[in-house]
Amino acid sequence: MTCEKLKNRERFREYARGLTKEMLIDARDNAIGIVRNSAPKFIDLFPDDASVNGYYPAVDNNDGLSRWTTSFWTGMLWLSYEMSGDEYFKKIAEGHIDSFYQKIEKKIGVNHHDMGFLYVPTCVAAYKLTGNEKAKKAAIMAADHLITRYRDKGEFIQAWGDVGEAKECRLIIDCMINIPLLYWASEVTGDKKYHDIAYKHFKTTVKHIYREDGSTHHTYFFDSETGEALRGVTHQGWSDDSCWARGQSWGLYGIPLTHKYEDATFAFDTYDAAVHFWANRLPKDFIPFWDLVFTDGDDMPRDSSAAAIAICGLLEMVKCTENNERKSLYKDIADSMMRALIEKYAYKPTDKTNGLLAHAVYYYKGNMGVDECNIWGDYYYMEALARYLTNWEMYW
């Protein structure tokens, strides 16, 4: 692994200094204000993955479609409850548990690996915050479902398609955020099988998904007969040899998430290289283009959601790194992106939208949610605010 030299350390130090507590409090109040305004529309229905002209359409959580995203709205309600103490948000979030229980019990739209995304901000959060036993049971069922996708040959969790399908023999970087569900399931059940699969998947991901320069592939294929590692291929990025911004940010969050449960120090140099690669490609306004191949002057949209995810990852990594220079660099990069999101990307309750963050991209080449709000971007932005303003205990 070759760690790129950071091109401009000073710009992060300087811009980060301007992130103030007042700014964060104001941003928190705006975010909670938008959630409050949107809540009456999203009690039994959920915001779709991306807004359309600034407004999230309402969807049924159990309409049979394979979504990974309805959970983020519930997570935003839990965060609003935690940051405001207002029981109104808690009541709506608790009301979602039945829907997620049904989803996993009846296996509605869950033929994929995104069980962590779906069950951590909903049921694990509910269990951690209120001790809700039905939520705990649903989340354990989701963990049981997730481990059925583990492929012994290759030692990874298959992302998409029917389990065992030869053409779907691949992992994807996003799954770094699904495996905390498995670590948690081992903790609450005392059964190590979930943890062991998670950690094997993690090690396989770190070994194959990172390139020599600290950038990442989006997905990685294995031979379905032998488990031999074959090649990195993109799905949502620009090209197989570019670096999809959100993939890189899932990686920036995934390594410290695993380290919370199991020693991941062997991946810390890789992490540092990934941070340098990321930082060197942040444009003048500190928010990445949707693929890191693009740079200032390119006529391409940003992905603000990738910045929000990366902020949470960097702040988590600050907690677990001993190296002071790395610590201060990660914090300065996180603070710079946070300031930029608040000043230039975050909406106010009076704006014409029901989203929190402007200028995100779901899937550029699929023409889905391009330059719109994305519900996970909104969630991670709120999670970042909770991290800055409270002693937030992770749901993940």
Q: Give the residues lining the site for ligand GLY (CB under 6 A).
A: 68, 174, 236, 246, 362
Of residues 51 and 186, the one with the C-beta less far from ligand GLY? 51
Number of neighbours of residue 202 by Cβ within 10 angstroms: 27
Of residues 68 and 238, the one with the C-beta less far from ligand GLY? 68
CB 112 within 8 A of CB 174: no
Residue for token pair 């932005």: 381
Of residues 186 and 236, the one with the C-beta less far from ligand GLY? 236
CA distance 138 to 341: 34
Could you tell me the smallest distance in angstroms from the CB atom of residue 153 to ligand GLY? Answer: 24
Of residues 194 and 362, the one with the C-beta less far from ligand GLY? 362
Active site residue 174: yes
383: nearest Cα among 307, 322, 323, 271? 307
Question: Could you say which of 48, 49, 174, 332 is catalytic?
Answer: 174
CB 189 within 8 A of CB 140: yes
Which tokens go with 61? 């959580």
Q: Which helix (H) or strand (E) holds 156?
A: strand 156-157
Of residues 68 and 81, the one with the C-beta less far from ligand GLY? 68
Distances in Å between the alpha carbon of 190 and those of 107, 116, 182? 25, 19, 11
Active site residue 114: yes
Of residues 92 and 356, the one with the C-beta less far from ligand GLY? 356
Q: What is the DSSP letter of 342?
A: I
Give the end-to-end CA distance of the chain in Å, rounded to a whole number.
Answer: 28
Question: Could you say which of 44, 48, 60, 114 is catalytic?
Answer: 114
CA distance 378 to 211: 29
CA distance 274 to 191: 33
Q: Which amino acid is at 213?
A: D
CA distance 116 to 177: 6
Distances in Å between the alpha carbon of 300 and those of 164, 295, 318? 37, 9, 31
Cβ-Cβ contacts under 8 Å for 10 (sequence gap 6 or more): none
Could you tell me the smallest distance in angstroms from the CB atom of residue 362 to ligand GLY? Answer: 6
Which tokens go with 217? 């592939």
CA distance 249 to 227: 27
Of residues 42 and 362, the one with the C-beta less far from ligand GLY? 362
- Catalytic residue numbers? 114, 174
